[in-house]
Amino acid sequence: KTLKAGYSEKQRRDFLSEASIMGQFEHPSIIRLEGVVTKSKPVMIITEFMENGSLDAFLRGNDGQFNVVQLVGMLRGIAAGMKYLSDMNYIHRDLAARNVLVDSKLVCKVSDFGLSRGLEDDPQAVYTTHGGKIPIRWTAPEAIAFRKFTSASDVWSFGVLMWEVMSYGERPYWDMNDQDVIQAIEEGYRLPAPMDCPPALHQLMLDCWQKERTERPNFAQIHAYLDKLLQNPVSLHATSQSSVELSNPLLERKAPEYTMFCSVGEWLDDI
């Protein structure tokens, strides 16, 4: 990643701040910092090489090529990375498929920490920002309205990322403009299930999009739920008609109990 020519001192500081944030993380689902070039131009952040590039472009280029278990495996990896960030008291603030990178083995890693911020050692802490652009389609309503970011606002973004993955990189809210998106969400609209998306996954998205941030699951719960689905893959093949209507949020719900027909190990071999 290169700092463009003609940068200001603030842009340089922000750029190097991103590198210093990345340097604190060590997790298989977080992009690894290899080094920083500051003595010569251009100023660069050097990370591990990810052969398949950004997740959104990768999915668009491979539309329909993966089975649902592989897609959920990608999501579980991203959730593991976000659980790690949350445990480290960091909020990403720009979680989206474009900011996840994919390696040759389909391992997905969270990247692009330009908007990331640390919170005090308090899981309920709020980071308030002033000014700057917000990626509206991926951002929780309270973060748009009051610029208040928490791990729960990252969870909202993860729900949109799930939708991107299950729709193979489709643009969230299609051709609606940002103002229409804000109004629709305020009125209760939520993205519909992508084609062939298992009901259990769309329900998880809806849980992530709860208006009240306290009603959203946390990343530990999301990761555990996706893990449970992968251990019981039959649950990913349930139809809408056979799914149970769930009024409670994820935190009060267990994945359906099904007989396993393949192990996570077999899935890993498959990909």
**What pLDDT is attached to residue 265?**
44
Most confident of 9-18, 52-61, 144-153: 52-61
* Confidence label for 15 from pLDDT (cuts 50, 70 and 90): confident
Burial of 78 (0-12, 13-18, 19+ CB in 10 A): buried
What's the length of the chain? 271
CB atoms within 10 A of CB 41: 11
Q: How far apart are CA 112 and CA 45, in angstroms?
A: 11
Residue 225 carries which side chain, given as an amino acid letter? Y
Tell whether 99 is in a known binding site: yes
pLDDT tens, position by position, 32-61 = 989 988 887 888 889 999 999 999 999 999
Tokens 């992968």: give the residue: 230
pTM greater than 0.85 (yes/no): no
Tell whether 103 is in a known binding site: no
pLDDT tens, position by position, 185-194 = 999 999 999 9
Asked if 201 contacts 162 with a C-beta cutoff of 8 angstroms, the reply is yes
From 163, 21, 152, select the one nearest 86 (Cα to Cα): 152
93: left (phi over 0), alpha (psi -120 to 50) or beta: left
Domains contained in the chain, CATH given: 1-48 (3.30.200.20), 52-236 (1.10.510.10)
From 2, 110, 94, 105, select the one nearest 54 (Cα to Cα): 110
Between helices 68-87 and 151-166, what is the axis angle to 10°?
Answer: 170
Tell whether 253 is in a known binding site: no
Please report, for residues 26, 45, 64, 118, 226, the alpha-carbon distance to residue 23 in angstroms, rounded to integers and kept in the order given.
Answer: 8, 11, 35, 13, 28
Give the residue, 16 or 215, on which the prediction is more confident.
215
pLDDT over threshold 60, residue 174: yes
- The secondary element (H helix, E strand) that includes residue 73 is helix 68-87
Q: Which residues are catalytic?
A: 94
Asked if 18 contacts 115 with a C-beta cutoff of 8 angstroms, the reply is no
Q: Is the dihedral of CA 13, 15, 19, 22 positive or negative?
A: positive
Q: What percent of the chain has pLDDT over 90?
A: 62
Asked if 119 contacts 127 with a C-beta cutoff of 8 angstroms, the reply is yes
Q: How far apart are CA 202 and CA 267, in angstroms?
A: 22
